[in-house]
Structure 1
Amino acid sequence: MDFRLTDDQEALRKGTRAILAGRFSPRDAVAAPGRLDRGLWRALGEAGFFALALGEAAGGVGLGLPEAALAFEEAGRALLPGPAVATFLAAGEVPGAAEGTVAVTAVDGVLVPWLEEADTVRGDVTGAVPLRSVDPLTPLHRVPGTGTRAPVPAVLLTAAEQLGSAGRTCEMAVEHARGREQFGRPIGSFQAVKHLCAQMFVRTETARAAVYAAAVTGDETEIVGAKLLADDAATRNARDCLQVHGGMGFTWEAEVHLHLKRAWVRAELGRAAADIEEALAEAL
């Protein structure tokens, strides 16, 4: 299987990154936590972000899951806040979702992100109670009972977001290790720091292969397995990135701790680790 991206896929990834970089900053978003940036949401809709998988006859772009995974990888890299996965999956079914004029959320296990800001909710949220989310950019509610199992495409796109975050924290660690000096030398020259960065890279690329393969095959077992690897890469990479940055990594001036907090939340969305492990064991 050839995992090299086509020219069109590379253009999609670069274009998504450029849109997010030009319209969104995690540090600015922290100043208004829990508020959905409607201007950004409409800009994403106008760029076709939410309509990637819609057929051209329905006003969409007519692409598939592999391209959607690339776009959501960039969303995860940028720490895009908002119910992007649910809105994407509702395009073509909920009027306004594809255009970004309507934000859609869904019951994701026992958690519902962005319930108060969403215009449309998919699933039963009777008895939902607000939680104090560890991630300041992801407001959460909990629904009673076991909740609704997320559809497989939602699991894949959440895994792609985790992959993007893992890749970004790996980049941030390497950049800091090259520039930060200790005892007259870049800290990246020290063996312990080299090992941390190397492990982060291996986790990222292992998760990337799994997510890309699952996006191509659409196989449920491969998708949940990719989510497990991507969750691990995102959370462990963020923790190691904090180690490389030292105490400054947990300051509001740095984005490192925001990646860790978002990774913790995403790991509980879609399909949590315990549920995935049971599904993989059953498949084996």
Structure 2
Amino acid sequence: MLRLNVAAEPHECYLITRNQKVGDSWVKKFEFGIEGDGNDKLLRKYGVDVKKVHKFWVVREHDEFTYPSFNGLEITPPTWKPKDYYGKGVRVVYPIEKTDGTIEWNIAEREEVRINLLAHINQNIMKNKDYTDATRAKFTERIANMTLDELFADQECLKVMSPAWAAPHSRENMILRKMRNNAVRRYPKEFSSAFQELTYTETIDETPRDARIDAEQALEAEVEQHAGTEQIAHTVQFDEATGEVISKLEEEPKKDTRTTVKKAAKASPAAETVQEITTDDCPF
């Protein structure tokens, strides 16, 4: 429908089923969401007057960067001089070439991600049974005006965040992902049908998308953190006398040869006619 490829690498979208409570019973809910390069692809296909989306810039904390300047309708492009490729990303810049030949620069800042993180924390607080309505409201009010770094430095916030946000080694990937999404989604799009627009609008909702991506990144974070620290127990059978592990191998099915096929044909004649299969007649 949106012409995204679920099998693309880097990922463009995902298709999963969720458990959802309806009344007193749980049902399976089908969910589609956009992730990774999916938003970039939608910008290229449905962006208003978009001719080409150039490779985005990741401006890091030690880089030299100047913002674009404006003189009426004339735009002086931004400048960027990288100093390294491992510092914290502070902004993402998307150069977008339009059909009239002009270039538009969509910029998303690191500090904007605090809105995404606050939404994530508040969503987790709503599901947390350790909080009452009063303590939940007090906590939400306390963190409302915190900066992004202050949220990451707050121990209570870290406990509420998913591992994808809380773990330092996966945190920067999440921040970069959110900056890219914020830069791309704000650009106006024009879909060919109302159904396409509705589907896209539903994926803008932070709750289901974050839940899936955070779970994916949290698993990676946990695997990296505990790699080589636990032994996985397997139930095996062994000979008590020799200590040798007993492995039961399944016998491979015997392949029919020309001879066995010929004998089988002779042994099982048809009700009316018996015809011998020769090597010339055998299709294999």
Question: When you count helix as a share of all residues, which structure comes out higher?
Answer: 1
Structure number with the bigger relative contact order (C-alpha 8 A, sep ≥ 6) is 1
TM-score w.r.t. structure 2 length?
Answer: 0.30
Question: When you count strand as a share of all residues, which structure comes out higher?
Answer: 2
